[in-house]
Structure 1
Amino acid sequence: MSPALFFSKSSATVHNSNVSEWTAMKKLYEDMERRIDAEMKHGDISNEIKAQHEAFSEWSSKTTSKDHQAIVKILIDGRDKNAQDTDGFAMPTFVYVAREKRLNYHHNFKAGALNALLRVSGEISHGPIILTIDCDMCANSSQPIRDALCLFMDEERGHEYAFVQFAQYFVNLTENDLYASSFKIVHEVYFPGLDGQGGPFYTGSCCFHRRECLNGRIYSHETNKIWLERQRPKIHEESIGALEERTRSLATRSYEENTQWGIEMGVKYGCAVEDIITGFTIQCRGWKSAYLNPKRAAFLGLAPTTLSQSLVQIQRWAEGHLQFLLSKYCPLLYGFGRTKLGLQIGHIFCGSWGFSSIPTLIYVVIPSVCIVHGISVFPGVSSFWFAPFAFVIAFSNAFSFWESHFYGATFKCWWNGNRMDLYRRTTSYLFALVNTTLKLLGIADSSFVVTPKVAHEESLKRYEREIIEFGSTSPMFTVLSTVAMLNLFCLIGGAVKVMAGGGMGSLEQLSLQFFLCAALVFINLPIYHASSFRNDEGRILMNTTLLSVVIATVACFVPIF
């Protein structure tokens, strides 16, 4: 768990059942943080502090979060009979692991961290079941452990399952889900549908794994009894110091050199969605996965609270899925004959997010620009072909609203979802496509951008009031603002031109384009408000507004031949 996130105001609601305990922990942490900062200002750690905290014995003035040695510390030894909580119950073994990082060495981001943990835990406990969970998630009850074990240990089919994926829910969503972060349809429709096609994706968090599957084992028909005998936890007689020293080498940067870690063993390297590709290759080895979505959410976390955070997160997902689609693990090629076609199609659908940005941009730009020039791109109202267009528009939106309402969404929640779908397609998906293309051409390298979840107090207040947060210079905001201004200018310019020409016939021919343009203007109302009427720090910056106005004006009045 990230301390900054765990003790942030936005995280307080997660721990409301133990407020006093959470507050006491926060005070202890802040006190420790102040003492550490005080020592760091001196550029050295005093002998007194080193005596109290053994880990500081390896600290030097050059140590940073991105450049440090491997650290393995057993904080609680489960073998010790005195290791008990305040109620007298036995405590499990608790280990702190920090893998080695060096500035000139690629550490493979989250995948590298998980593989280091796999190796170290394999020597200390060798527990047969592993839970992977992000630092911004926490368990909501003990029931998920029992549910997952029931599947793994089922006498008839338990041996088929490699991992059990739980739904991810968030406690800080606004009433109308401002940034469409709940992904309700994915939880209620998409993933349950994959359950019949070999199982859902591994999403990187809230997932229970068989250790042997992550280590590359191919599926066989061995019984659970044999599996459990093989996977019994290790019992070490050696001292804590010796065990720490022996396992520290497993977390060093050189351990994986010229090995199959990240290739055939462990979590896969080379992709921004290492979790998805790892889960897919496990399924291609014959294993199945299961999806559980209990009434009481198994795990709770924090969703992005600014538009920038949300779009960057979606960009990383879209970029990773596209890399997966274009890699040697392409679902249709690598998965052919190994997995069901439905599962392959599910991966293809996600992998194609980036490509959908191009037709979306064409759809929100070309028809609107053509209004100003009096060019019809859709059938007129009097045309026979108007009916199919009108039917598709009406039916798709009606079904989308019914589906959202069926799973508890309000009209405003559905509208926010449509807005975010448009914003994601024209920014996150577009940037994912561009970045992937540049990487394939060797012009740029892939990077892993961590989505920050700790919001400033004023920003958090605006989020709770469902006011969209812009407030920074970003190419994404320039694209969004330009598209919004373009549609506004085209709607006004087209209406003036039709009225000036007295052309009801022209209006009849351009009716669908006016409808589309007006819908885009209405959905972009928060952008106009943030550009012209807001004075808070979450507004769209003036330089972004001016640039978008210039680009939109030029696009409106450039002649179309």
Structure 2
Amino acid sequence: MTEEKCAPLFETKRAKGRLFYKVFSLSLFVGICFIWVFRVSHIPRESEDGKWGWIGLLCAELCRETECAASDITFYALLEASIFAKQWLPFCRKFKVDPTSPAAYFKTIASSTHPNARAQEFVTIKKLYQDMESRIENAAKMGRVPEEILLDGKDSSVKDVDGNVMPILVYLAREKRPHVAHNFKAGAMNSLIRVSSMISNGDIILNIDCDMYSNNSQSLRDALCFFMNEDKGHEIAFVQSPQCFENITKNDLYAGSLRVIYEMDFHGLDSLGGPLYIGTGCFHRREILCGRKFNDQIKKEASLNELEEKSKAIASCTFEKNTLWGKEVTFFLIVPISSSCYCDSDCMGLQYGCSLEDVRTGLSIKCRGWKSVNYNPQRKAFLGVAPNTLPQTLVQHKRWSEGCFQILLSKHSPAWCAYGFISPGLQMAYCYYNPWVFLSWPTLYYCIIPSLYLLKGIPLFPQMSSPWFIPFAYVMLGDSFYCLMEFLWSGGTVKGWWNDLRLWLYKRTTSYLFAFVDTIFKFFGFSESTFIVSAKVAEEKVSQRYEKEIMEFGNSSPMLTLLATLALLNLFCLLGMLLKQVFINEEGLRIFDTIALQILLSGVLVLINVPVYLGLFLRKDKGRLPISVAAKSTALALTACALFISITLRCFIFSVLV
């Protein structure tokens, strides 16, 4: 008899349109090559203006691409939530509630939508939730909790109102000392892994951030389908869900959804070995976090004879030789005997040494032979809270890009560490995310130099009547059109794409730049690593402006000063050029043929920065840019324009005299 094979629990399909995408990508590459040829073959002579600006553009064009510190308030909130859960969990089971987060459920569901038989229970459970919420808020305002809740009240047999045993809920606050590295989030995760192994030792670990909640009650079942698949489940180390947010505005003001990465890139990574581990919304196998290497043989169930032979080996009198069996150890990490009674790797838990411990840990797991799966259902598995101010967004991306750069500079860099352990495609994918910080320099150059040369009327691009204008126009229009289509296909809007383009510029000119500088300082020992926690609670006025999609700047900071300076620099250069051509230059509109692309570039930068100009000069609310930032950025922009005019004039006089 032939052995019947179970139907697969999941399947992977190729995306359509691959041939068109390859042809389009090839055409863009050809256009970029023509641009490089033009740059090399048309470098201005020594006696001509713009030589160094031209060379600089050539170089730029070569680059295209919790823990809560043992808080009594948090403990009290968990205690209140556990009491409320005795009523809430039976209600969820009875009425098939989804999402199971009471805050999200009551926000979207009104009592009037329920039948009469259910309406009374809905009102009762909502009243219990509001009472619990009120008690927690009062405790937070007072800064203390009732003394009676601090008493030891452990009960291992707590049941809900239907008589079902409640899940185990443990609040862990790990010890911290001033001179002992606690390793931020990675240290907290490793503590939780060790402690949970002593309590339940479950095979599957779910890791989510403190501000996220379950939006899909079937997510655990779906994740188990990946792990338990007969053909490929034994290869999977973790199932990663995208980091989605409930407070994203209609047009995604701060590009917080990262929709193209999650809807496009991660699906592509599925064919190369799976997506990155991003630190939240992830189901892990415990044994793999504890260091187990991939072995294709674990797929097969051992026969009775094989188990008997293995049992003889581990029961022999010589098995314990040169091992820790029978010796005193300070801690023993339990790993299920059914899968492994030992750790066969020197990599245990989340990896330390950088602010993106999750990405580094995921790479380490992949290098041990494991794969991951992208789990992105239509109803998102988990939802969190995205930053709702520009400074929060920039700081968050600074931390991410800084962590990626630290991985690139470390001995664990995918550029060399992963060679031979993962597929070349997956290695290239990891390397694509690591050098984000380098993109700041060509972007800064493109934001500054062409505009300054525009102010002087010196062309850095081919004139419109030249054949060399075609590759420039094709690459710019083709790339922009493709990015727009990609964004729309991912579920975005046209205005959302424009906001995404704006944040792309802001991140490159501020977050990535500061991340590069800070990482270099840390590399040479001038500063120490820090972990900046994203804000989870916002003021009411800030939230109202965010919902109206009004950009929030807030307090003064070096990032905002740099952002405002670049915006004003482009505005001054564009206005200065227009005034000069209208009132001074005798050639009039004919000069526009030679500097059309520079005008277009500067004009796009000015349009992108409209919210900055409003925040500097027109807005009166607290979300505007401070007056100090307006004064400093105006002075810096005017000084840069004056210095450039002075320097280029002196260089021109010197070249003429020589």
Map of 1:45 onto structure 2 = none
Structure 1 counterpart of 2:245: 170
Q: Name the CA distance, whole Å, in 1 between partners of 2:139 and 2:527.
A: 41
Distance in 1 (CA, whole Å) between partners of 2:105 and 2:257 is 16
> Structure 1 residue 75: deviation in Å?
5.0
Contact 2:291 2:346 in 1 (8 A): no
For the pair 1:398 / 2:505, whether they are aligned, the reply is no
TM-score, normalised to structure 1, is: 0.84
Q: Is the 8 A contact 1:133 1:207 kept in 2?
A: yes
Q: Tell me whether 1:30 sits opposite 2:140 in the alignment.
A: no
* Cα distance between partner residues in 1 of 2:140 and 2:451: 55
Aligned-residue offset at 1:90 = 2.1
Deviations 1:495-523 (A, max 9, x none): 11122203234221111101110111011
Residue 263 of structure 1, CA deviation: 7.0
Specify the SS of the correspondent of 1:130.
strand
| Residue of structure 1 aligned with 2:226, choices 145, 148, 151 | 151
Q: 1:483 to 1:34 in 2, by over 3 A?
A: closer
How far has the Cα of 1:36 moved from its partner? 5.7
The alignment status of 1:362 with 2:445, answered yes or no, reads yes
What residue in structure 2 maps to residue 547 of structure 1? 632
Distance in 1 between residues matched to 2:128 and 2:242, nearest whole Å: 27
CA contact (8 A) 2:189 2:350 kept: yes
Q: Does 1:333 align with 2:416?
A: yes
| Partner-residue secondary structure (3-state), 2:172 | strand
Match of 2:362 in 1: 279
**1:304 partnered with 2:387:** yes
Distance 1:21 1:310 in 2: 36
Asked if the contact 2:264–2:490 (Cα under 8 Å) also holds between the matched residues in 1, the reply is: no
Q: Tell me, which stretches of 5 or more residues in structure 2 are unaligned? A: 1-65, 81-101, 110-124, 308-329, 334-342, 652-658
Partner of 2:430: 347
User: How big is the shift at 1:156?
Assistant: 2.0
SS in 2 for 1:352: helix
Counterpart of 2:184? 109
Work out the CA distance in 1 between the residues paired with 2:575 and 2:126: 54
Give the aligned residue type for 1:384.
Answer: P
Residue identity matched to 2:585: G
The answer on 1:54 being equivalent to 2:164 is no
Instruction: Give the match for residue 245 of structure 1.
Output: none
Question: Within the alignment, does 1:124 sit opposite 2:199 as a pair?
Answer: yes
**Pairing of 1:171-190 with structure 2 (within 5 A):** 171-190=246-265
Following superposition, the deviation at residue 397 of structure 1 comes to 1.1
Matched, 1:486 2:593: no
For 1:124 and 1:424, locate their aligned partners in 2 and report how far apart those are by CA, in whole Å. 43
**Aligned partner of 1:127: which letter?**
G
Contact 1:162 1:209 in 2 (8 A): yes
CA distance in structure 2 between the partners assigned to 1:84 and 1:208 by the alignment: 27
TM-superposed deviation, 1:390: 0.9
Task: Tell me, in whole angstroms, the C-alpha distance in 1 between the residues paired with 2:129 and 2:395.
Answer: 30
Q: Once the two structures are superposed, what CA deviation does each residue of 1:52-90 show, in whole Å capped at 9, x if it has no partner?
A: 5236xxxxxxxxxxxxxxxxxx9563xx3xx22223322
1:464-500 per-residue CA deviation (whole Å, 9 max, x = no partner) reads 1100000111111011100000000000001111222
Q: Residues 305 and 453 of structure 1 are in contact (CA less than 8 Å); yes or no, is this contact kept in structure 2?
A: no
Q: Does the aligned pair in 2 maintain the 1:76–1:92 contact within 8 Å?
A: no
Deviation, 1:250, is 9.4
Q: Check the 8 A contact 1:181/1:303 in 2, yes or no.
A: yes
Please list, as runs of the form range in 1=range in 2, the aligned pairs for 1:52-91 lying within 5 A after superposition.
Answer: 52-54=149-151, 77=156, 80=157, 83-91=158-166
Task: String of CA shifts for 1:421-458, please: whole Å, max 9, x gaps.
Answer: 00000011111111111111211112111111211111
CA distance 1:375–1:173, change in 2 (3 Å)? same
- CA distance in 1 between counterparts of 2:386 and 2:498 reads 19
> Matches of residues 211-230 of structure 1 in structure 2 within 5 Å?
211-223=286-298
Q: By how many angstroms is 1:24 displaced?
A: 2.6
User: In 2, distance between residues paired with 1:427 and 1:184?
Assistant: 22
SS of residue in 2 equivalent to 1:213: helix
Report whether the alignment pairs 1:136 with 2:211. yes
1:442 to 493, 515, 525: 525
Q: In 2, are the aligned partners of 1:75 and 1:95 still within 8 Å (CA)?
A: no
Kept in 1: contact 2:205–2:286 (CA 8 A):
yes
CA distance in 1, matches of 2:149, 2:528: 43
| Code of the aligned partner of 1:264 | C
Asked whether the equivalents of residues 139 and 145 of structure 2 are also in contact (C-alpha less than 8 Å), the reply is: no
Q: What SS does the corresponding residue of 2:416 show, helix, strand or coil? A: helix
**What's the secondary structure of 1:332's corresponding residue?**
coil
Contact 1:380 1:386 in 2 (8 A): yes
State how far apart, in whole Å, the 1-side matches of 2:155 and 2:223 are. Answer: 25
Paired residue secondary structure (2:634):
helix
Contact 1:438 1:444 in 2 (8 A): yes
Secondary structure of residue in 1 paired with 2:171: strand
Aligned equivalent of 2:3: none
| Alignment root-mean-square deviation, CA | 2.7
Look up the SS of the partner of 1:394 in the other structure: helix
Amino acid at match of 1:501: N
1:517 is aligned to 2:602: yes
Against the structure 1 CA distance between its residues 164 and 76, is the aligned structure 2 distance closer, same or farther, given a 3 Å change threshold? farther
Alpha-carbon distance in structure 1 between the residues aligned to 2:440 and 2:407: 18
CA distance in 2, matches of 1:372, 1:554: 14
Q: CA offset at residue 21 of structure 1?
A: 4.8
Is the contact made by 1:76 and 1:95 (CA closer than 8 Å) also made in structure 2?
Answer: no
1:501 corresponds to: 585
Give the TM-score taking structure 2 as reference length.
Answer: 0.72
CA contact (8 A) 1:153 1:224 kept: no
Listed one character per residue, the Cα deviations across residues 166-201 of structure 1 (whole Å, up to 9, x for unaligned) are 122111111111000111111111001011111110
3-state DSSP of counterpart to 1:333: coil
Residue 528 of structure 1: aligned partner = 613
* Structure 1 pair 319–52 and aligned structure 2 pair: CA distance change class (3 A): closer
Task: Note if 1:386 corresponds to 2:469.
Answer: yes
The match for 2:548 is 465
Indicate if the aligned counterparts of 1:357 and 1:429 stay in contact, CA closer than 8 A: yes
Counterpart of 1:556 in structure 2 is 641
1:456 aligns with 2:563: no
Q: Name whichever of 90-99 and 420-429 sits farther off.
A: 90-99
Q: CA deviation at 1:211?
A: 0.5
Distance 1:75 1:397, change over 3 A: farther
Report deviation, 1:373.
1.3
Query: For the residues of structure 1 that align with 2:416 and 2:149, how far apart are their CA atoms?
Result: 56
- Once the two structures are superposed, residues 266-314 of structure 1 have per-residue CA deviations (whole angstroms, 9 ceiling, x without a partner) of 1000111000000110010001111110111110111101001111111
Structure 2 contact 552–623 (Cα < 8 Å) conserved = yes
Question: How many angstroms apart in 2 are the aligned matches of 1:186 and 1:75?
Answer: 44
* Aligned equivalents of 1:476, 1:15: Cα separation in 2: 39
Paired residue total? 500
Aligned partners of 2:174 and 2:301: how far apart in 1?
33
Amino acid at match of 2:150: H
- Structure 1 residues 35 and 490, CA gap change in structure 2 (3 angstroms): closer
Q: 2: distance between equivalents of 1:544 and 1:35?
A: 36
- Among candidates 266, 273, 281, match of residue 206 of structure 1: 281
1:235 — aligned with what? Answer: none
Which of the numbers 430, 448, 460 marks the counterpart of 1:377?
460
1:223, CA displacement in angstroms? Answer: 3.7
Answer yes or no: is the 8 Å Cα contact 2:223–2:239 preserved in 1.
yes
